[in-house]
Structure formats: structure tokens, C-alpha cells
Amino acid sequence: MLSAPDFAAGKTYVYKYEAFLLGGLPEEGLAKAGVKVSSKVLISAASQNIFMLKLVEPELFEYSGVWPRDPLIPATKLTSALAAQLVAPIKFEYANGVVGKMFAPEGTSTLVLNIYRGILNVLQLNIKKTQNVYELQEAGTQGVCKTLYAITEDEKAERILLTKTRDLNHCQEKVMLDLGMAYTEKCAKCQQDSKNLRGATAYNYILKPVGSGILILEAAVTELIQFSPFTEMNGAAQMETKQSLVFLEVQRAPIVPIEAQYLHRGSLKYEFSTELLQTPIQLIKITNAQAQIMEILNHLVTHNMVRVHEDAPLKFLELIQVLRAAHYEDLEMLWSQYRNKPAYRQWILDAIPVIGTPAALRFIKEKFLANELTVAETAQALIASVHMATANTENIKLIETLAFNSKVLENPVLREIVLLGYGTMISKYCAEKAVCPVELIKPIQELLAEAVAKDDTPEIILLLKVLGNAGHPSSLKPITKILPIHGTAAATLQMRVHADAIMALRNIAKKEPRMIQELALQLYMDKALHPELRMLACIVLFETRPPMGLVTTLANIVKTEENLQVASFTYSHMKSLTRSTAAIHASVAAACNVAVKILSPRLDRLSFRFSKAIHMDIYNSPLMLGAAASAFYINDAATILPRSIVAKTSAYLAGAAADVLEVGVRTEGLQEAILKNPAIIDSTDRITKMKRVIKALSQWKSLPNRKPLASVYVKFFGQEIAFANIDKAFIDQAIALATAPSVQAFGRNTIKALLSGASYHFAKPLLATEVRRILPTAAGLPMELSLYTAAVAAAAVHIKATTTPTLPENFHIAHLLKTDMQLETEIKPSIAVNTFAVMGVNTAILQAALLSRAKLNSILPAKIAARLDINEGYFKIEALPVSVPEHIAAVHVETFAVARNIEDLAAEKITPLIPAKVLQSISREILSSKITSSASASWSRSSEIISKDMAATKPTIKFRAAQFEKKYCVKTVAIGMKGCIKVATENAAFLKDIALYKLAGKHSIALSFKPSKY
């Protein structure tokens, strides 16, 4: 009969503890990065079920080198900086082998507590007295996961051997944090075939029966977490964690707690701390945030005037990193100092929205309310900040208060952006929650009910779009009340309201596909509805990826469909989906393949006068990479132009899908305006038709019609960021703006500037991608998978204009029509893009990771001369000779292992993934080694995880790395130019000829153009 581990009162148990994390490709001879923690661990009973744990002589080590050749490097300064926290004892509850609450002084950081959690995780043993092999969901550092126990007894040696394994892919509660993935949709089918992320932990214990319990003599833990952006057959990088806990002795001296109040600091479950604000790309010691921000800002402004500095994207990421650590007061100081300097002001307004903190949102709100930001600046900043800000209750509340602020209510454009952003924030917040509180979306639902009662069409449409962005399942009921299936109240609403209500169901469909399928099918089957609404219901239905039965039902309806517009649209949608190769559409494609065979092939022969749906995609299953484009063209038998057009692009990457960009246009009012002039439809020449269309549009402007001429919307990652109704009021405002004296004065001043020669400098930074997944390892340190893309574009423009005859001092714009104008322009646009892919340990004080960096630098100068004489009807444009750099575009990719700590940044060690020796042409030589089977044995007997026994493994053959270098050139006689592209690569394909290993290493591509002599 087994019992739980026991630490007897009055005794202090001394253990030797080591934890080593090592990340990289699995093969030896390549660079890897890692961290090691080594210490003595003392455990003693403080009271019943309360125990003390203390570290003695703790040491931290870093590793960045060629494994297993290079040694670990002691992080002496970091160990000294953390010494006070590491040696402070903690208290923990422990009963029947289960770790409960933890208690520690307030000064102990979350990072150090997580290291303690890694040690206590080894002590977690749920031993059943009556079973030797059993399975359960067990709590641990990484959550509550499926764990298998196997127990055997060595009676002769009086030892109990216990093995437990944890499957990290089957957890009731998984401790994991995803950032930047709220807009992505997981592909369940992809993950069934090949998981991008797998993890498992194996624990081996040697136990000794003692007194009333058992004593842990040895514990060896091996954890492997592997990640592949492709299918597993194409290679995977891995993070290996090894822990060793070896019993040394029993002492009589008790552990004495420090003189401080011990607070409840959570349980065994890992807690996230400052790693949320810490990018894994660089480690910055922030001593004076204000001064550091100013220094980085000065560097960015100074070095990106004429052309972009090649490291500008990295510097911009550094600015974001420091700004995230800044307080609101720091942002205020920065703004007060630089707001009147245009170049600095633009950099600040581009950087603050992407830091994603509550301080950033508050800053934008306060500056707008104080009239320190223009409407355009506020709109841009709000759109960026809403998409980059962390979705928490504080940020949601801040956006909500801004949405109902009187100043925002006065500006329709800003109100629209803020309300749409409010829906987006709720969507992001709910993406991380199993159950999303309905209270968040309740205010919008109530406003919608009021707008319906007042029959306020513009307000109803706006609020429907907000509910569509939020995608909260509770919004289904208020949206359904607006659809024309619930009595006459909804039927009296305008059709564009019904159309937007149907399209608002799409994000809800991602969470509740079954409910939306039933509703969409009901709408589609209602032949009394307008055909456009039925076709929109068809779009929604297929976005839920309906099962075979539902698709077949749709095909049966189409068989008897009398409206050829609806029949053509549905058939073309099914037909295009049959050609889809994307894994996420596999089941729908199969269902559509059967359905189209039920239908008549004559539907395939209908012309483009009939509505169509087009879907095209390209997908590589081994690489799990692809892209798709969809277009929906909704026509009407009685119209000239299509009623509605929707175009959408999607991307597939690493088992996830995202709708990148979507643009939709409706032309309902335009149709009516044109159809009121029947002469337009008559078959006549094109010029006559155009004149009649213009006449019809001018007549529309004088009509007292509330219906807009057209409407357009833009969605980014499935979230509507802006829409516009081109109605009478919109056109009146545009005309008033264009004819305003201030605009005319601005035009005159601009022309005067051009005549005297004008120079402009423009720079625009962008954080295009920030996708992160943070998960704890068994040792309590966080592992991170990240993808960052930052870009900076700049342009220097010089324009000089001359006119013949010379314009008078107080000229009118009409004078330009009587002059011969010559314009000479020199422009030097340049761009730098950096993309980083990171896997490794990332904390605010220590980083050890495998990092791949891709750099694109491009500059394309041009000099153009143009001449325009409207009186003579003469126009000429020509390109003038201009000096170009050696390379107009260059891409460099490099993968390396890096280790660094905050206390000794100068000692940062970077090791190229493929060592220099491997790159040399050497003969194959067999290296002797001696780890093999002794590796596992050394775990239990050695005090060094990295020991001489691990210096080598089975006989290994050294190969020359796969290298390739080639230059391709082509001459163009017509323009007298010679273009060359140079490609060079050094990769790890010599180990495995698969995708991941081909990408690992160094790659470069350079494009150049030179004058050709012939």
C-alpha cells in the first residue's frame, strides 16, 4: 500500500536541484540557446500541511553555442541581482502529495515564484493506494492535463519506481496566452492531420518507503515541446526541459522564514508577469523611460529623412518596447515637448497607438478632447490603437466612455470609428474567454432597439455593424428581429437594413454555426424575399461550412428555383468551392462536389448578366500555407450595374486562417437614379450613354430622396473599420469643401511653392504583425513563439515647376488652363522591413532563444519631367537619368541562437545556427562519443546536467553545409538597362532535405540595375 511523500516534522530535507532548458533544432552540431538553474533545495515542515522551501547557493547559467561542444556561461551578475529573492524561503501547502497554496513575501517577483513553482511541480504526486496504472487530469504548473501513472516496486532494493507522463495537448485547463491571434480561425482539420505544437513531459521517480509515507530519493523530468510552422514531416524546432531533484541528506536545523509578511501568492499554476510587455527580439534595461524615448525618437527622425536606415524597423520596435513601460505622465511630457515639431509629432502619433496599453488609449482620448489632435489624426490613431490594444475591461470601458462623449457624438466619422472599435474590442476580449459576459454588448443592443423604434435607418445600420464586429451570440435575437421573417414591423424597414442585418451574422457564425445555419437556410428558402437578401443568406450559410446534408438540401432547393439570379449565384458558389484545396474547406468542398452533380449543367452556362460567386485558392498541404480570394457579384434582371459587389482575400498559415481584407460596394440608389432615365438603357453609342448617365446623376441630386447613391465598407481581419454612405448630404459636403475659400487659397499657395521649388520629407513606420504565444515549461520559465513584422517607409521629394507665360502674383486656378507648364520631380522612395520569428525563453531579465531575422531594404530613385499645355492639347512625360545605388532591393535572412541578461547586456552572445566550421570544406570525419545510453544514468548520479558525459553522442558525421550562390542577369536593349539578381544560401538541408531545414541558416537575394553598354 503506497502513501504520499512525507517530510517529517523537525527535519530539513536537502536536495540538489537542476533545471536546464535548451531550444533549437534537434540535431547536434547546430547552435542552440538555453538557460540553466542550479541550487540546493531545503524543505522542512512549518506546521500541519504547511512546509517551508528554501534555495541555497542558487546559480543561473546562459547557453548560446554549438551543442554540445560549447560550455554554459555563468550569469554571475544576474544571480547576484536576484540573490535576495532566490534565497528568501517560501511557504506552501502540501497534503497527500498535492501542492496547494503558495505564500511568499511581497518583494518576491512573479518570475522567481514561477521558478519555485517549477520545483514544487516535481513534488506533485497523486498516488492511488489500490492501483498501479491509472490515468487522471492532474494540476501542475502548465494547467490541468491528462496524466498517466505507472508504479512498480523493487522489493529487493526496497525502492518504488514511479513513472508519470503528462500529455500537454490534452488539458482541461491549459495555461497559455495568445496575443495577436484574436482574428484568426483555427483549422481543426489541419490539426487532426498534423499538430503545429506538441508537448509531453515524462517524470521518473525513485521512492523509498519511510515511516508513515515515502521519501523522494531521485526525480528526473524530461519535457519536449516541439513547434513547426509546417506539417511535422517538414521538420520541427523544439524546446527541451530537463529537471533533476536528488536527495542528499537530512539536517536538523529548521528553515527560518525572513522577517516579512507572507502573502498568498497563488497556487502551483504558472502566473504571467512582465513577459507580456517584453518583446523577445531585444532586451532593454529601462532606467529612465523619458530620456530613452527621446534618444530613440531623435535617432529615428535624424536617420530617416532622405532614405530609410536599414535598422529603422528594429529601432521602431525598441521605441514601442520603451513606450510600453512608460506611464501616462511620460507620454504627456513627450507630447508637450514635441507636438509642435511635425516630424517628431508624426512618429509619436504612429508609435503610441501600437503600444496597446491603457495609457495609449487614454492619451489619444485626452488629446482629442483637448483639441490637440485633428480629426484625421484621431481617426488614424483610434483605428490602430483599437486593433493593437490588449482587450481588457479597462480598455473596453475607456472606448465605451469615448463613444458616448458629446464631442465624439458631434462628429459622425469619429463616432462611427469609435463604435466599430468598441465592437472589435468586445470580439477580441471574448476570443480569450470560454463564456463572454453579455453586459459588454448590452448598451449597443439597447441603442439598436431605440433606433428601430425611431425608424432611424443610418443609426440602425451603424449599430448592426457594431454587433457584427462584436460577434456576440446574444446579439442573434436583436438582429433576428430586424430580419424580414418576424412580422410586418421588420418588413417595413429599408432593404439595405435587412442586407446589413444578414451580413452582421457572419462573425456570430464562427461561434454558433448551427444556429446561424438554421436562420440562413430559413431566409434562403423564403422566395417572397428579395433575391439579393437570399443571395446574402447564401454567403452567410457557406461561411459556416455547412455539412453534407445541408449542402444537399440547398441543391434540392436550387433544382426548383425559378429566379435565375439566385440559382446562378448558388450554383457558381458551390462549383467554385469544389475546386478548393485548402484543408479548412475540405468537408465543404466534398459536399459541394456531390451537390453540383444533382444540379443541371445548364446553370454553368449562364452569362455574367446573372449573379456569380467566385472562390479561388492555392494551398500547400505539407507547408500548411496558402491564400484565397473570393468575389460575390449580385445582380438584378432589371438593373444595368450590379446591385452589390464584395471582394475578400484570406490567408492560411500554420494551421490557422484569417480574412485579411474585404471591400464591399452597394449601388442601390445609383440603380434607381439611372433607371429613372429609360433612354440610358436604349442601345446607342458609348458617349451618348455616358452623357445620359451624367444627366441622370445630376437630376438625382435635386431629388428629395434619403436613399444613398451608393455605400462602401472596408473590413480588416474580419472587422469593419470604416464605411461610407455616398448620399446627398455627403456630396453637398464634398462640394462645399472643394469650393471653400480656404481650399482655393491652399491650392494657390501649393502652386506658388512648386514654382519656387519645394522639398518634402515623409516617413511612416508600421508594426504590421505581432503574434505571440506564451506557455510555461515544466521548470516554471516561459517559452515563447513569436512572429513580428515592422516596416518603415520614407520618401524625399523635390519638385520644381515653371510656366510659360509666367503666372501673375494673384493668379486664379483658371489661369493654369492657359499656360504651358513644365514639372520636374525627383523622388527617392525607400523602405525597410524586418520580420522576426522567435522560439525560446523570454522574460524581462533573461532571454535565450532561437531567432530568425529577415531584412528587406529597397530604394528606387526616379526623376521625371512632365510638360502640359491644355490650350494646345499637348502632354508629354519622360524619365530622366538618375543615379541608383548598387542594389535597389536586397533581402537577407539569418537564423541564430542568442542568450542575454539584463544585468550584463554587454556579454550578449549570438551564435549563427550553422557554425563556421561546418561551412568550411572539410573531409568527413567520425567523432568519437560516449553519451548514448549513459545519458539517462548520468541524470541521477551527476550534479551537472551539462557534464563531460554529454559532450557528444552516437558517432556523428560532419558534412559540409548546403551552399548555393548564383547570379542571373538580363539585358533590355530597348531601355539600355541590365538587370541582375544574385542569390546565395547556406542552409541546414545537409542534415535533412525538408522545408524547415532549408529555411534555417543564411539566405540573401539582391536585385540591381545598371546602364547597359551594347
pLDDT tens, residue by residue, 247-284? 999 998 888 888 889 999 999 999 998 877 889 999 99
Q: Measured between alpha carbons, how far is 476 from 519 in angstroms, rounded to an integer?
A: 10
pLDDT score at 924: 38
| 854: exposed, middle or buried (Cβ count in 10 Å: 0-12, 13-18, 19+) | middle
pLDDT greater than 50 at residue 933 = no
pLDDT greater than 70 at residue 799 = yes
Q: Measured between alpha carbons, how far is 900 from 910 in angstroms, rounded to an integer?
A: 9
pLDDT greater than 50 at residue 935 = no
Higher pLDDT, 937 or 388: 388
Phi and psi, residue 402, nearest 5°: -65, -40
Q: Taking residues 547-556, what's their average pLDDT?
A: 93
pLDDT confidence tier of residue 593, bands split at 50, 70 and 90:
very high
Q: Left if phi > 0, otherwise alpha if psi is -120 to 50, otherwise beta: which for 619? A: beta
Phi and psi, residue 176, nearest 5°: -160, 145
pLDDT score at 446: 93
pLDDT confidence tier of residue 686, bands split at 50, 70 and 90:
low
Give the single-character DSSP code of 848.
E
The residues near 198 (Cβ < 8 Å, ≥ 6 apart) are: 168, 169, 225, 226, 232
Report if residue 375 sits inside a domain: no
How far, in whole angstroms, is CA 975 from its chain's centroid?
43
Inter-residue contact 447 to 460 (CB < 8 Å): no
pLDDT greater than 60 at residue 930 = no
Q: Measured between alpha carbons, how far is 394 from 357 in angstroms, rounded to an integer?
A: 10
Inter-residue contact 119 to 53 (CB < 8 Å): yes
pLDDT score at 684: 54
Report if residue 176 sits inside a domain: yes
pLDDT score at 773: 93
pLDDT greater than 50 at residue 814 = yes
Report if residue 121 sits inside a domain: yes
Q: CB-side exposure of 991: number of CA atoms within 13 Å?
A: 23
Q: Where are the alpha helices (DSSP H) in 804-920?
A: 916-919
pLDDT score at 932: 34
pLDDT score at 778: 95
pLDDT confidence tier of residue 673, bands split at 50, 70 and 90:
low
Q: pLDDT tens digits for 713-769?
A: 999 999 999 888 877 666 666 666 666 666 666 666 777 777 777 788 889 999 999
pLDDT score at 433: 82
Q: pLDDT tens digits for 174-215?
A: 999 998 888 888 877 777 767 888 999 999 999 998 877 899
pLDDT confidence tier of residue 849, bands split at 50, 70 and 90:
very high
**Which H or E run includes 25?**
none
How far, in whole angstroms, is CA 52 from its chain's centroid?
42
pLDDT score at 957: 41
pLDDT score at 697: 57
Report if residue 242 sits inside a domain: yes
Cis peptide before 68 (omega within 30 of 0): yes
Report if residue 113 sits inside a domain: yes
Measured torsion, CA atoms of residues 913, 916, 917, 923, in degrees rounded to the nearest 10: 100
Give the single-character DSSP code of 5.
B
pLDDT score at 451: 92
Cell of 809: 502674383
- Given the C-alpha cell 508504479, which residue does it identify? 151
Q: How many CB atoms lie within 10 A of CB 218?
A: 19
pLDDT score at 133: 94
Q: Measured between alpha carbons, how far is 201 from 209 in angstroms, rounded to an integer?
A: 25
For the four alpha carbons of 73, 78, 83 and 88, in that order, the dihedral sign comes to negative
pLDDT score at 864: 86
* 258-262-264 Cα angle (round to 5): 150
Q: Are strands 820-842 and 782-804 parallel, antiparallel or unpaired?
A: antiparallel
Report if residue 416 sits inside a domain: no
Give the single-character DSSP code of 154.
E
Q: How many CB atoms lie within 10 A of CB 691?
A: 12
Cell of 948: 563531460
pLDDT score at 1005: 94
**Domain containing 198: what range?**
12-270
Using DSSP, state whether 726 is helix, strand or coil: strand
Nearest alpha carbon to residue 139 among 98, 94, 176, 167: 98
In the chain, % of residues over pLDDT 70? 87
Q: Taking residues 629-640, what's their average pLDDT?
A: 81
b/e burial code for range 229-246 (CB count within 10 A of at least 16 → b): bbbeebbbbbbbbbbbbb
pLDDT confidence tier of residue 668, bands split at 50, 70 and 90:
confident
| 877: exposed, middle or buried (Cβ count in 10 Å: 0-12, 13-18, 19+) | exposed
Mean pLDDT of the chain: 86
pLDDT greater than 70 at residue 605 = yes
Cell of 393: 475591461
Q: What is the CATH number of the domain that holds 224?
A: 2.30.230.10
Report if residue 502 sits inside a domain: no
Higher pLDDT, 739 or 848: 848
Cis peptide before 805 (omega within 30 of 0): yes
Higher pLDDT, 167 or 735: 167
Q: Measured between alpha carbons, how far is 970 from 314 in angstroms, rounded to an integer?
A: 34
Report if residue 737 sits inside a domain: no
pLDDT confidence tier of residue 808, bands split at 50, 70 and 90:
confident
pLDDT greater than 60 at residue 86 = yes
Q: pLDDT tens digits for 646-659?
A: 999 999 988 888 99
Inter-residue contact 421 to 399 (CB < 8 Å): yes
Q: How many CB atoms lie within 10 A of CB 733?
A: 10
pLDDT greater than 80 at residue 458 = yes
Nearest alpha carbon to residue 758 among 749, 746, 769, 771: 749
pLDDT confidence tier of residue 960, bands split at 50, 70 and 90:
low
Q: pLDDT tens digits for 982-1003?
A: 999 998 888 888 889 889 989 9
Cell of 333: 511630457
Q: Are strands 846-859 and 133-140 parallel, antiparallel or unpaired?
A: unpaired
For the four alpha carbons of 103, 104, 108 and 113, in that order, the dihedral sign comes to negative
Q: Measured between alpha carbons, how far is 200 from 222 in angstroms, rounded to an integer?
A: 9
In the chain, % of residues over pLDDT 90? 54
pLDDT confidence tier of residue 702, bands split at 50, 70 and 90:
low
- Report the number of distinct structural domains present in the chain: 1
- Given the C-alpha cell 524543505, which residue does it identify? 43
Q: pLDDT tens digits for 299-353?
A: 999 999 888 999 999 999 999 999 998 999 999 999 999 999 999 999 999 999 9
- The strand pairing partners of 63, in sequence order, are 34
548-559 vs 586-598: helix crossing angle, rounded to 10: 30
